[in-house]
Amino acid sequence: MVRAQLYRKIIDMVPSRQPDALTPHLYYKLIAANKGFLDTHLSRQPPVMNHNHLNYQVRLDFVHGLLREKFDLPENTKVEPIAYDPECPFKYNNFVYRISLPSPLDKENGVCQSQPGCVAIPSGNSELILRLTNSDAAGMGAADRVENEVAMITLAAAALGPIFKPHVVPRLYDWVGSTSKQGKRQQGWILQELMPGTPLDEKLDDMGLEEKKKIFAQIAKLLKGLQDFPLPASITQFGGLTFDNESNIISAPMTSTGKPTRTPTSRAGTRTDGVRARLEAFVERGLPASFEPLESRDQKVIVHADFTPNNLLFDASSGYITGLIDYDFSCILHPSYEFLRSFDGVGSQFRGWSGIEGREQKALKEAKLHGFPDPLPDDKDGDNGVQWKVAKAWEDELEKAGCKRPMTIPGIDKVADVDALLGSILPWRVTNSDILRRQTDEVIRNCRDENEGVLIQILEHNGF
């Protein structure tokens, strides 16, 4: 099935009994793996005009104008969309372009290296990456999106630069935020280095176990570098980042907690059968109790939050990772958050109790918390199966690198349970506008009711 056909199938089928605690981009990647489709959720409504493609030419004209007028690049510079499907029904977070110059630069282009985090475009360079923010992206706070990404890239470069040669974090050449100094919305963008290599997810599945171990060792080294980096004293809170008037990196709201879509379904909430009262009781008593075992709760680290094989670049000839890219969801949070959001496709995300996980997944979670069994169970294929040898290899490399991981973070299981509960209160599949406008009211109500059932199970699991 080609990508466009698969996307259409995704949007026409609301998945059932999926963990909603995932961020939307990872969630529909899991859906794309054909997990949880039910024929009863098929929508018969006609397709809606694609919002991504509506301003396709307008964006191209903007990019060409920017390159010509601000950077004095040639008229015949080639601008090519990357990872863009005109029929994708989900709103892209960013529109990404590969910029190819007709010939390498004969001198440095440092027109805007005064911007925080930026350096001059080096001479000899002929290819760049330009990222345009999508102001309509679901669940993204627009105000400081660009500033947050630039600041996180700056910190990641400082953390990993001394460890990895050549560097694995893209250099930044210029950027403009999504909000002007007058507070008006504008087109945000980042011009950055094109990193070498191909996405690791295109190669990883075909690798043998020994090859994977070498890759896992490098990923663990990356994670260790991010975890150990001493943050500037100006970063005082959890969440996102921005810059002050002196270009210091400072704390800011988290960009991946944008306003939810307000619909009749979400406004109705969970007020039936005493569920709302049980939720309020959990917030009052259960939430503080859930964080008590997390003795390191005040620890702040760089969290990529999308640390997956598709955001790792890889050189097959050398066997080395060449880039860690896409910092759109990056933030400053507790080390546990990385494991709740990342590593799908490597060692798998660490998820809270949901009541729907299979026996194999429960066993894997226990192994990550308390140690892997010896001998290992046989590998199991399928949606709920576990590749035990691969999972153990990932755990071993985390341990060798000295990474903070579920086994060394007492209390992470309770935090994961809270994360699962939060995801069930306002689930993406009944609030995301891209899905909602293509579903019947009946399908939406059924999903909402089904999700409330999962929420009740999670509350009961937590004693409420």
* Category of 448 on φ-ψ map: left (φ > 0), alpha (ψ -120 to 50) or beta: alpha
Burial of 228 (0-12, 13-18, 19+ CB in 10 A): middle
- Residues 196, 55, 183: CA angle, nearest 5 degrees: 85
Do β-strands 189-193 and 127-133 pair in parallel, antiparallel, or remain unpaired? Answer: antiparallel
Can you give the pLDDT at residue 268? 53
Can you give the pLDDT at residue 1? 34
Place of tokens 């969970």: 270
Can you give the pLDDT at residue 112? 65
Residue 430 pLDDT grade (very low, low, confident, very high; cuts 50, 70, 90): confident
Give which of 396, 380, 398 is closest to 388, Cα–Cα.
380
Find the domain containing 166 and state its range.
Answer: 1-462
pLDDT higher than 60, residue 31: no
Can you give the pLDDT at residue 377? 94
Give the best-scoring range by mean pLDDT among 46-60, 76-90, 393-407: 393-407
Burial of 92 (0-12, 13-18, 19+ CB in 10 A): buried
Range name among 16-30, 70-84, 435-449 with the lowest pLDDT average: 16-30
Alpha-carbon distance of 415 to 462, in angstroms, equals 11
266 compared with 40, residue with greater pLDDT: 266
Give which of 58, 94, 63 is closest to 80, Cα–Cα.
63
Can you give the pLDDT at residue 445? 87
Give which of 299, 295, 291 is closest to 415, Cα–Cα.
291
Element (H, E) at 363: helix 359-370
Element (H, E) at 321: strand 320-324
Give which of 4, 25, 32 is closest to 15, Cα–Cα.
32
Give which of 261, 186, 182, 208 is closest to 24, Cα–Cα.
261
Can you give the pLDDT at residue 315? 97
Those residues with Cβ within 8 angstroms of residue 328's Cβ, 6 or more apart along the chain or in another chain: 93, 94, 140, 145, 149, 255, 256, 306
Percent above pLDDT 70 for the chain: 84
Token representation of residue 55: 């301003």
Can you give the pLDDT at residue 271? 57
**Number of independent structural domains in the chain:** 1
- Residue-wise pLDDT for 244-277, tens only, equals 999 999 999 998 875 544 555 445 555 567 899 9
Summary mean pLDDT of the chain: 86
Average pLDDT over residues 105-117: 82
- Residue-wise pLDDT for 157-216, tens only, equals 999 999 999 999 999 999 999 988 888 889 999 999 999 999 999 999 999 999 999 999
CB 331 within 8 A of CB 152: yes
Whole-model pTM over 0.75: yes
CB 153 within 8 A of CB 172: yes
Torsion of CA 37, 39, 43, 47, to 10 degrees: 60
Q: In what order do the strands lie in the sheet with 312-315?
A: 198-199, 312-315, 320-324
Average pLDDT over residues 45-55: 68
pLDDT higher than 70, residue 15: no
List the end-to-end C-alpha distance of the chain, in Å, as a whole number: 44
Alpha-carbon distance of 327 to 192, in angstroms, equals 12
- Report helix, strand or coil for 37: coil
pLDDT higher than 90, residue 30: no
Give which of 146, 106, 148, 107 is closest to 130, Cα–Cα.
146
pLDDT higher than 60, residue 228: yes
Those residues with Cβ within 8 angstroms of residue 87's Cβ, 6 or more apart along the chain or in another chain: 4, 7, 8, 50, 53
Can you give the pLDDT at residue 258? 54
- Residues 148, 186, 70: CA angle, nearest 5 degrees: 90
Alpha-carbon distance of 294 to 4, in angstroms, equals 44
- Residue-wise pLDDT for 121-135, tens only, equals 999 999 999 999 998
Alpha-carbon distance of 253 to 73, in angstroms, equals 35
CB 304 within 8 A of CB 197: no
- Residue-wise pLDDT for 276-321, tens only, equals 999 999 999 999 999 999 999 999 999 999 999 999 999 999 999 9
CB 84 within 8 A of CB 4: no
CB 337 within 8 A of CB 307: no
52 compared with 325, residue with greater pLDDT: 325
